[in-house]
Structure 1
Amino acid sequence: MNDKKLARICWNSNNWQKPSGKLGKVKNNKSYETETGYGHEEWLLDVGKLVDGYHYAYIQAVGQHHAKYLGCTYDISFYTIDGVTKLRWWLGEILNVQVIESEESRKVYNVYKRKGWLNEMYAQLDAVDADTAQFKRISAVNFCCIKFLPEDIKLLEEPLPFYSGNPAVKSDYYNLKNRISVPEFGSFGEFIFASGGMGVKDRTSAVYRGKITDIDLVHNQIQKCLHELFDEQYGSVNVSVENLTGFGTKIDVVVRLGKSFVFYEIKTANTAKQCIREALSQLLEYSCYTNRNLAKRLVVVSPAKLTDEANAYLQNIRKLFNIPLFYQSIDLENKTLTKEA
């Protein structure tokens, strides 16, 4: 049985498949990330590049003490820290991680070079204004230090947040620690309705899915308006903003109707069709990811007017697939909401 280890990796908002830039990285003038604009683990999960069935990568926790771990095989859990919010995120585990010889790293480097993968990595660094020249100075024997099979990746579907001081993580240094435990995540896996919600700001940041993106002003104005309208219509105890799903995501607005719920997803695209396209998969996931259907109705809310064609599309979805999907258009100036269609 492999020893269980724990490693911190650099912040990345592209799912560790390619570099994501300086935002969220360590803010320390002496750190490698600050100097170069990228971290060692940016490509940790880029499993599209395999050599003899294995994915090769570099993690600082192993690489900086390579000789100590050489030839060992570990099950490594990973976490990261958002340098902006300081929030810690638990990512899950990779099993059977093998620490490789320097000569194997050299061979893998040559494969990457021959297949054009190195040039692809250079272009990805250029795209986020990272120090590509510094990356090119990394020697072939230090290019990678671990390998694992893609099927041994056992990461969470969504990274889960935990806070500083959690006993599962004793320190935040980039070293390889013995894994003591997994953080407690509260009501993970369970949807719990909680009336009220976060204070709605004019501008905020959304994490963790994919990139960190600035949610636009219109989204937050809609959320605030819905909160006010629904508080008046249903009572504040029956309205929730940013309600946790229980599996690492949040629902824009939830209304409780007795023992059932209505989930609202806000979209700001230019057309109703595009809003429906963007919202449908999210609403289905929020309601159906667990072993029961949580929502009685799923509603897309947007400033875009519903066209006859988009309305017919909604009716087709309900008729053909029995999905209770509806649409409401909101007028922010007059603070009004159309009936569900």
Structure 2
Amino acid sequence: MEKGSYVAENRFGHEEWLFNHECLVDGHRVGFIQAISKSRRKLAGQDIEILLYTKNPDGLWCKVGRIASAIVLTETEATEVVKKLSNANILQAMGADLERLKISGDKIRDALATNIVNIRFYPKDCEVLDPPEPFKEQKLFSKTYPRYLSYKVDSTDKFLELIKPPAARCSSTNQKKVDQRLRRSVPATTQDPKHDRLQNTIHTLLKTNFPDVDYEKNWIDLSVKIEDIQFIFEVKAASSVKRCIREALGQLLEYAHYPNHNEKLYLVVAGDAVALPDDRLYISFLRETYNLKLYYACYDWNDRKLNFYPLINHFADS
């Protein structure tokens, strides 16, 4: 179990919202990366490509995502972004996420702006590797590459050199605690307040446009009837469309057909991850191969609307 880190001591990391599609400011997704934080003053203002990696529960060092183009924020820019997050009630929602897990929301609400956001990027430039891809040279990591630091990499994802933070360090106003304490990381929880917000938001949008909308009826997240067509929605807050489909499709098929029903329902996986070209190919393949009336509906937090793939014109079949 991890010891001595911010996550182990506080039971969360500021990176928790990196793939939260709600965190949009002026069309950019904003977030925090600890490794960038340590080198932020050196990288501020630069447009960089980011390879995200971590150590998985099995002890393997893995690539988990890429951001093709990200701007590292200056302190002034980070302060302005946090103001906009607060004005949009997103900062308050982040605090509420913590409070649902019995963690003080003040840990995020009162944090320095540069500890809440330090990068911005367009959602289209972000790719989540699913499943994560283990590095070939596993032995190098434990000896050569400490966590939470930034490194330059080449075109083959080979680590080249450490991006060293500035040598200067500000004086602390607090002395270190000297009492002994045990630090343990906290097991993951299945509670997901973001899912609830996404479900509620899509429900409100449907209710605004259609009179016949059900919420949690027969355990189905959302369902709406348009003329003679019944759509059922399974909402997922996963960071990629592929993962949303993986988590939702079995539930949708069960709701529509278990134990042997042949209901003509249109199946909608709803999330806020943007559908990439491979995701669209996958959805088309599933529809054609299994004759499924399957759709992916992406909620755009910026435009406040649902974007369907394949396109639904007034909720009619494409």
For the aligned pair, the TM-score class normalised by the smaller chain equals: 0.3 to 0.5
TM-score, L = length of structure 1: 0.45
Between structure 1 and structure 2, the one with the greater Rg is: 1
- Greater RCO structure (CA 8 Å; 6+ sep): 2
TM-score, L = length of structure 2: 0.48
Structure whose residues are more often helix by fraction: 2
